[in-house]
Structure 1
Amino acid sequence: MRQEKFDDLVGRLDAAAARSPFLFRVRTALWLLVGYFGIALAFIIVLSCAAGMFLAAVLGQEQGVIFIWLGLAVLVFGLWMIGRVTWSISIPPKEVQVTAGQVPQLFAVLRELAAKASAPMFHCVHVSEEMNASVFEMPRFGLPFWRRRHLVIGLPLMSALTEDEFRAVLAHEFGHLSPQHRRFSGMIYRLRRSWERIFEKMEEMTAGFFLGFLRHFVRWFWPRFNAHAFVLSRTCEYEADAAAARHVGPAAMSQALTRFRAVSRTLDESFWAPLWREASTLGAPPAAALQGMMQILERNLDSPPALQAFEESKRVHTTNADTHPCLRDRLTRLGTWNTFEKLDRPLPLPQASDSAASRLLGPALPELWNAVGSQWAECVKSHWEKRHARARLLRPFAEAGPSPRREEEWQRVSAVCELQGDEAAEPLLTDLLLKHADHGAARLVLGRLLLRRNDSAGLDHLKRAVKADRSLYQTASDIVHDYYWRLGDAQETRKVLLALDQQDHSGASGGTSSILPHSLGQDDLVVLLDRLRGEGGIAAAHLGMVPAADGHSLPMLYLCLSPRRPWWRFWISSDEESQIRRLSMQVNLPGRTLVFAPAGRHRKTAREMMLVPGTRLDL
């Protein structure tokens, strides 16, 4: 479901909830039952197929053994595939767990706030590297029973807040478990997190034979249930803020909220981005990488990105990208917006000895930083190594000189973007677009870079990018959403998205019924074939085209890539999907190009193109 449709649905549901809160809760409960019915139906289908095999084994004497083995295979494999999804929400978090023996001061504060909020205590408390704090319950099989309550606290958050501010954050989290939190709304708030994890797990697992039904169901169900839960969850956030204000005070809660955005943006720009760029030179993530995080944060809190983030936090409005309301709305409810609006820069960080981390974690703090750093390094090791290996492949392209060939020049520019960042590649992007003005991917990257600086000239680049390559529409629309959200101008978002949508359809031929063999020049074809042969893992490739409706513009090119996979696997893995997405950004041919796999929403196009003589490429 596109963001615009989701926004419209949430708007209608907001109005429905205001008209009749009781009926809206009933409607949400019915949608929740639909979700559990879908999972139950998947189990029933598997059990029915297995039962049919066993019945056939009883009736067919000669082939009975074969049917028994088939029934067992269907039962075990089907339940295993479905269980991979439902058990995904019951996997314990990977963050470092702390106990009352390690950090008695922290647990004393937790017990005090739990008593004030009349809320149950957490079963497990974890610390992480994130600038965040969150509470979630881990139900078994996604059902609202046998829950274990977990609290995850980010060490950077504790280090950036005073003790009173952090107590307000904890009181907010306890507010989500409090009886004052309306029971039904609180349950929906927590179950929404469970269904979100199911949806994310389904997207990671490319559908196989038994998983296809469940994946299609979850893709249909999740956005609709999420829209209903969204309305209730946002109310829960306001109630949790009010609970924190009652138990700790509105000033402490307000100060914690005002620090958050500037500190998060500073860490992203000054710490995480440079750290991940080190993957191009280091073969493994440094275990001690997090040690200097707070020193870097303190040095850069007055940097332009931090000041820009602070000003943006005053302008942004509540959107449906997150259940959390915007800062203006939350502080207005707390009665402190007028005070915050007068500030012209972020609040300074507390002294290290006065931070919540020092006061509540005490002598265990250095040990916890080491443990969190080691855990982070272990969790990202595989991804880091892939980035390092990819950097080794990209470095020759980034170090190559200018090339007159469009494809080779884009490889050079995209390699610099990936290894050094968009800013380092800006002169190369500008030069490339002077030579090839219709290069969609280059337009997209330059537009994204300019909008990140709040330069509206980037919008024109996005429109021209989508006009040159309509497969870039979704990425461009996400960039537009983020830009206008930071400016606090929701109305202008719809206007620009409408213009992008018109560019998306201008030049479309009206379908795929007129797919023809490609008319690619020999030079471009040789470059493409060399690229695909050097990539590895591609079993077959088909290239076709659809002439432009006006008869003058360049045609729309379709490049279908079939990954090489074992004979027993009938689906495309997540790694293969990632490979195709990456190639879609790297392969650039004259005209607009859509790169896809012969599965998913493009499977009909793929089947039709494979029947057209002359579309298969010789790999």
Structure 2
Amino acid sequence: MTREEFLARLQRQSPLAEANPAGYKRRVWFWALLGYGFILLLLLGTVGLMAVTLAVGIFTRAFAIIFKLGAVLAVFAWRVLRSLWVKFDPPEGLRLTPTEAAPLLTLLSQQTAALQAPPVHRVLLTAEFNAAAVQAPRLGIFGWPRNYVLVGLPLLQALSPEQAAAVVAHELGHLRGGHGRFGAWIYRVSQTWTQLTEQLEQQAGSSIFSRFTSWYVPRFNAWSHPVRRTDEFAADAAAAHLTSAQTMAEALCAVLVRDATLDKLHWDVVSASLAQLPAPPADAISRLLPLAKTGRLSAADEQTLLTDACEADPDLFSTHPTLGERLAALGQPAVVPALPATTAAEAWLGPSLPALAATLDATWVSTRAELWQERHAVLRQQQERLRELSSRHETGSVLSSDELWELADLTEDHVSGAEALPLFRQLTDDARWKLAARFSIGRILTNADDAEGLTWMKEVMDVEPNYVAAGLALQEAYYQRRGNREQVRELSAVQLRHADTLDEAMAEREAVRPTDTMLPHELTADELRELLTELALPEYGIGRAWLLRKQVRHFTHKPLYVLLVAPSPIVRSRKTESESTWVQSLAAKINLPGEGFVIATGKDYAWLEKAARQHTDAEIFGAG
């Protein structure tokens, strides 16, 4: 299902949910049961077939035939069970004990009782600015969940105990019973299918169950979307009931503002130290705690954050309402709360806070050390290369176009876009770099709120689809800063269509199939001569070669070539290298004049060889 199709379903179904809530719930219930019904059908069908086979064998005594049929069914049953047995990894975090966090555990016990929610089995402390309630099924798709509550130490240190209690109550609200049981159940079912889909995507190959989920999950998500969105409001209301509407609203506003504060005052500083420090800082979380409690942006910046969040259009694909919608439902204004005198982390973790922060420090370092060191080495190399190229450029040395591009690119990354701009302008007519240089000029100007940049980017986007997604995002950000919401909406729709087009283009370019239409290659004489020179290299071992072009629907100006090759007698006689290894090696070496596939002749591609022989100009090498 494409994004446009999904959105069209939402636009049709949302009015149904508003006009007849009870009837709509019944439909969503049906879709939820359909998923579990399919699972049950697979299991019962498999068991039933094996039972029937066994019964027929007993009554007919045709044991040889039944044995063979039973073996086939056993393989089928194994594939079914294997596709259903998906392991759900538990969430990661530091498990909190009653000794370390007695007030928090007591609060959770009280809230679960008040919300008629299932018991929380484990409470995990993380380094994230977030909180969540997670159910990890111990039996995979068959359920029996273990319930986790995750609380981020930075979040707890940025909120008062009352505000943090409201945040945790909202998360537990998704597990609640009572009047809101149906919405909470649908929310959890959706989370389960989402996790299941993510796990299946990591498995190689396709199964009966994975094919079902690819059809079922998008449709269930579309039908359940209005229910899950309503459940977000219901979870807010449940949290407000346990605390107060004012406290819940303050928590929502504080989360938005404090998160942005920590990003700017702490994490941006940590990221900037990548080039200087060979290893990640050992106290990244501990060092954050004072800033989380007392750090502030300017009053104007904080108010801008709140205003933009409240006035933002809803994300039609997200089940999370905007801040403005949530505050309106609570009947509360958008106000930046005062800094807490005592934070939730201090109140709930007490004297254990420093030791817990130190443990998170160690975990944060261990999970990032390798990547940090790699990135540090790259940045140092880039800085050294920038100094070298800058010195040569400043002393009047002539740089090649590739070197000038490298200098411009490194200058933008390590100095500023303004400094890189004149360097990019020198490449606007270069045969190799003109498109990249012109887009870079457009990006720099647009980010500086210069409307001229839009023209530069559009010129490139019109001829090269690889730049379209980035260009649309830059345009949207430009109009967002200028407050042009109508233009932002139009660009969002264009981005949606382009994303679907990219998906379809990638799908048609990922393989060659017997149903594909093959066309003449249409290479120029110079392109063909260059390719033939390469195909003739003795080390390639090519006996014959045919070149075709696959017909594509999207981005037709970017041809997709298919080079069919037959090995020479010498290659055929080799026993140390298989034909598949040979053709894989060729695919990595041969420079086609565009995207394409290199495929070896053989029975699997007899249809392709037949198609090639139907085009008189397809055989380009080895004829005779």
Work out whether the TM-score is over 0.5. yes
Counterpart position of 1:184 = 182
Counterpart position of 2:558 = 556
The whole-number CA distance in structure 1 between the counterparts of 2:348 and 2:135 is 24
Counterpart position of 1:312 = 308
The whole-number CA distance in structure 1 between the counterparts of 2:180 and 2:2 is 31
Equivalent residues in 2 for 1:147-546 (5 A)? 147-180=145-178, 182-205=180-203, 207-208=204-205, 211=206, 213-272=208-267, 275=270, 285-295=280-290, 301-302=297-298, 309-337=305-333, 340=335, 347=337, 349-351=339-341, 354-380=342-368, 401=389, 427=421, 430-431=424-425, 434-435=428-429, 460=455, 463-474=458-469, 491-496=486-491, 514=519, 516=521
User: Is the 2:405–2:427 contact (alpha carbons within 8 Å) kept by the matching residues of 1?
Assistant: no
- Matched residue type, 2:343: S
* Per-residue CA distance 1:405-446 (angstroms, 9 max, x = gap): 7667666666777x7599699638844763459866666677
The whole-number CA distance in structure 2 between the counterparts of 1:60 and 1:404 is 81
Counterpart position of 2:571 = none
Compared CA separation, residues 25 and 336, structure 1 to 2 (3 A): same
Question: Which 10-residue stretch deviates more, 287-296 or 191-200?
Answer: 287-296
Gaps of 5+ in 2: 506-515, 535-545, 565-576, 582-586, 600-604
* Per-residue CA distance 1:346-367 (angstroms, 9 max, x = gap): 555435xx11111111111112
Question: Which 10-residue stretch deviates more, 10-19 or 289-298?
Answer: 289-298
Secondary structure of 2:135's counterpart equals strand
- Matched residue type, 2:14: D
Shift of 1:244: 2.0
User: Is the 2:158–2:343 contact (alpha carbons within 8 Å) kept by the matching residues of 1?
Assistant: yes
The whole-number CA distance in structure 1 between the counterparts of 2:147 and 2:302 is 34
Compared CA separation, residues 347 and 431, structure 1 to 2 (3 A): farther
Shift of 1:258: 1.0
Counterpart position of 1:25 = 25
The whole-number CA distance in structure 2 between the counterparts of 1:545 and 1:170 is 58
Question: Which 10-residue stretch deviates more, 25-34 or 214-223?
Answer: 214-223
The whole-number CA distance in structure 1 between the counterparts of 2:193 and 2:351 is 39
* Per-residue CA distance 1:529-563 (angstroms, 9 max, x = gap): 9xxxxxxxxxxxx99879999xxx9942448999x
Secondary structure of 1:290's counterpart equals helix
- Matched residue type, 1:99: T
- Matched residue type, 2:326: R
The whole-number CA distance in structure 2 between the counterparts of 1:410 and 1:44 is 63
Shift of 1:372: 2.3
The whole-number CA distance in structure 1 between the counterparts of 2:223 and 2:454 is 32
- Matched residue type, 2:13: L
* Per-residue CA distance 1:208-254 (angstroms, 9 max, x = gap): 2xx25544443333222222222111111111212222221122211
Compared CA separation, residues 126 and 16, structure 1 to 2 (3 A): same
Secondary structure of 1:87's counterpart equals coil
Compared CA separation, residues 273 and 434, structure 1 to 2 (3 A): farther
- Matched residue type, 1:117: L
Compared CA separation, residues 196 and 518, structure 1 to 2 (3 A): farther
The whole-number CA distance in structure 2 between the counterparts of 1:52 and 1:389 is 65
Gaps of 5+ in 1: 341-345, 530-541, 571-579, 599-603
Compared CA separation, residues 287 and 200, structure 1 to 2 (3 A): farther
Secondary structure of 1:434's counterpart equals coil
Shift of 1:189: 0.8
Shift of 1:518: 5.2
Secondary structure of 2:462's counterpart equals helix
- Matched residue type, 2:193: W
Compared CA separation, residues 139 and 395, structure 1 to 2 (3 A): same
Shift of 1:461: 5.4
Question: Which 10-residue stretch deviates more, 361-370 or 302-311?
Answer: 302-311
Secondary structure of 1:136's counterpart equals strand
Shift of 1:185: 1.0
Shift of 1:448: 6.5
User: Is the 1:471–1:594 contact (alpha carbons within 8 Å) kept by the matching residues of 2?
Assistant: no
Shift of 1:157: 0.8
Counterpart position of 2:96 = 98
User: Is the 1:429–1:446 contact (alpha carbons within 8 Å) kept by the matching residues of 2?
Assistant: no
Secondary structure of 1:556's counterpart equals coil
The whole-number CA distance in structure 2 between the counterparts of 1:375 and 1:150 is 19
- Matched residue type, 1:317: D
The whole-number CA distance in structure 2 between the counterparts of 1:357 and 1:321 is 34
**TM-score with structure 1 setting the length:** 0.69
Shift of 1:140: 4.2
- Matched residue type, 2:99: G
Shift of 1:128: 1.0
- Matched residue type, 2:249: S
Equivalent pairs counted in the alignment come to: 551
The whole-number CA distance in structure 1 between the counterparts of 2:91 and 2:40 is 26
User: Is the 1:518–1:543 contact (alpha carbons within 8 Å) kept by the matching residues of 2?
Assistant: no
Question: Which 10-residue stretch deviates more, 217-226 or 227-236?
Answer: 217-226
Compared CA separation, residues 116 and 35, structure 1 to 2 (3 A): closer
Shift of 1:108: 2.2
Counterpart position of 1:573 = none
